[in-house]
Amino acid sequence: MKDKKVFVAGHKGLAGSAIIRELNRKGYAGIVVRDRKALDLAKQDAVFDFIESERPEWVFLAAAKVGGIYANNTYPVEFLLENLKIQNNVIEAAYRFGVEKLLFLGSSCIYPKLAPQPMKEEYLLTGELESTNESYAIAKIAGIKLCFAMHRQYGKEFLSVMPTNLFGVNDNYHPENAHALPMLLRRFHETKMRGNKEVVVWGTGAPKREFMLSDDLAAACVFIMENYKVADIGEFVNIGTGKEISIIELAELIKDVVGFEGNIVLDKSKPDGMPRKLLDVSRINRLGWKASYSLKEGLRIAYDDFLKSQAV
Ligand SMILES: NC(=O)c1ccc[n+]([C@@H]2O[C@H](COP(=O)([O-])OP(=O)(O)OC[C@H]3O[C@@H](n4cnc5c(N)ncnc54)[C@H](OP(=O)(O)O)[C@@H]3O)[C@@H](O)[C@H]2O)c1
């Protein structure tokens, strides 16, 4: 198995780079990567030529246009178009050129806005999506459905996973595009460096969310590729820690990891969003996998990496 030729699409990103680390750790020697300059995955001809000539046996599809609420809400056209192009190109090329197994990375935003908590795999398409990231979610749902259709119609082993909110090494800390956790981490760090005494956190601090270190996601992805087929996992499987934390508790943890000594101020005039968002992870747990990093361990790893990126 370790001699498989493996293509990781999106290898410089948060999830893709963690998958590369996990494959290296486990001794996979035939890893193939291309950065965006060498291969724009939104270009069909280029993707077909690449897969035809390289003939990978496994593909991890961790390339996507990804962003936080602001970016998703402001650029719905790009989020829909680019993600559909990337995933359609890679999945179709994998089908045409004999890829044995493919793993498509979706996202927990595919679930209906008002889905019961924790969210089980069978809640997909049972209600309306959250409007701010609808384009992204629709692209991801199309990816899951395409992989499953490839299995149903052509017997392909194209699997899908739905990770919870991720953070970790190589995260995006961009002020407009970042997700909530890296944005908070950056804000605590910058406030500390400026010698200011207050970090403002939006909302009441009461909503609960789930966060997972990208290394845990990568371990789950490789575990699934090594051990399971579509018949075992179904259309897709959730990947998360199964643990939730309130935003104020998260802010306190980040404050501690960053070493910020000022105060956290809640701006209760700002909206809270959904009270809870937690994946039901009993299916992946039954398959024999559990997340292993605590949130605090993960935050330390992420903050060290953030500091290194600032030093460059
Ligand atoms: N981050 C999360 O919290 C989270 C949670 C659940 C699921 N996921 C899923 O995990 C996957 C990866 O997310 P991520 O957080 O790792 O995102 P990321 O850090 O932004 O990485 C995405 C990667 O895709 C590459 N890419 C994008 N468009 C490309 C194109 N046209 N051609 C070639 N490469 C392209 C990017 O290349 P550049 O470096 O050149 O931009 C980047 O390396 C996504 O499917 C996402 O839905 C993420």
Q: Measured from the CB, is residue 209 less than 6 Å from ligand 1?
A: no
Q: Measured from the CB, is residue 246 less than 6 Å from ligand 1?
A: no
For residues 32-39, average pLDDT? 97
For residues 14-31, average pLDDT? 98
CA 277 / ligand 1 centre spacing (Å): 21
With a pLDDT cut of 70, the percent of the chain lying above it is: 100
CA 64 / ligand 1 centre spacing (Å): 4
Residue nearest to atom 38 of ligand 1 (CA): 36
Q: Give the alpha-carbon dihedral of 95, 217, 39, 174, to 10 degrees.
A: 140
For residues 279-291, average pLDDT? 98
CA–CA dist 129, 110 (Å, integer): 7
For residues 269-285, average pLDDT? 93
Please say whether the beta carbons of 115 and 123 come within 8 A: yes
**What is the CB neighbour count within 10 angstroms for residue 181?**
23
Kindly write down the DSSP assignment for every residue of 181-204, as one continuous string.
Answer: HHHHHHHHHHHHHHT--EEEEES-
Strand, helix or coil at 210?
A: coil
What are the extents of the domains in the chain? 5-169+212-242+276-292
Phi, psi (degrees; rounded to nearest 5) at 30: -105, 55
Condensed to tens digits (0 to 9), the pLDDT of residues 224-265 reads 999 999 999 999 999 999 999 999 999 999 999 999 999 999
For residues 68-93, average pLDDT? 94
Q: Which amino acid is at 162?
A: M
Condensed to tens digits (0 to 9), the pLDDT of residues 45-61 reads 999 999 999 999 999 99
Q: Measured from the CB, is residue 42 less than 6 Å from ligand 1?
A: yes
Q: Measured from the CB, is residue 166 less than 6 Å from ligand 1?
A: yes
Q: Measured from the CB, is residue 179 less than 6 Å from ligand 1?
A: yes
β-strand 165-167 against 211-213: which pairing, if any? parallel
Residue nearest to atom 7 of ligand 1 (CA): 107
The CATH fold assigned to 5-169+212-242+276-292 is Rossmann fold (3.40.50)
Least confident piece of the model among 30-44, 61-75, 85-99, 251-265: 61-75
Which residues are catalytically annotated? 136
Indicate whether 176 pLDDT > 80: no
pTM value? 0.97
CA–CA dist 277, 216 (Å, integer): 19
